[in-house]
Amino acid sequence: MAQEREHSVERTLVLLKPDALARGLVGRIFARFEDAALKIVGTKMTWMDEEFTRRHYFDLEERLGPEVYRLADAFMRQGPVIALVLEGFDAIATVRKIVGSTYPNEAPAGTIRGDFSHYSSAASIASGKAVANLVHASGNRAEAEQEVALWFGKEELHDYRTLAEIYTY
- Where residue 54 falls (left for φ over 0; alpha for ψ -120 to 50; beta otherwise) is alpha
Beta-carbon-side half-sphere exposure of residue 149 (alpha carbons within 13 Å)? 6
Helices (H) then strands (E): counts for the chain: 10, 4
Could you write out the DSSP letters of every residue in 30-94? HHHHHHTT-EEEEEEEE---HHHHHHHTTTHHHHH-HHHHHHHHHHHTSS-EEEEEEEEETHHHH
What is the set of active-site residues?
Answer: 136
Q: What are phi and psi of 78, to 5 degrees?
A: -80, -10
Q: What is the DSSP letter of 104?
A: G
Q: Which strands form 135-137's sheet, in the order they lie side by side?
A: 39-46, 81-89, 9-16, 135-137
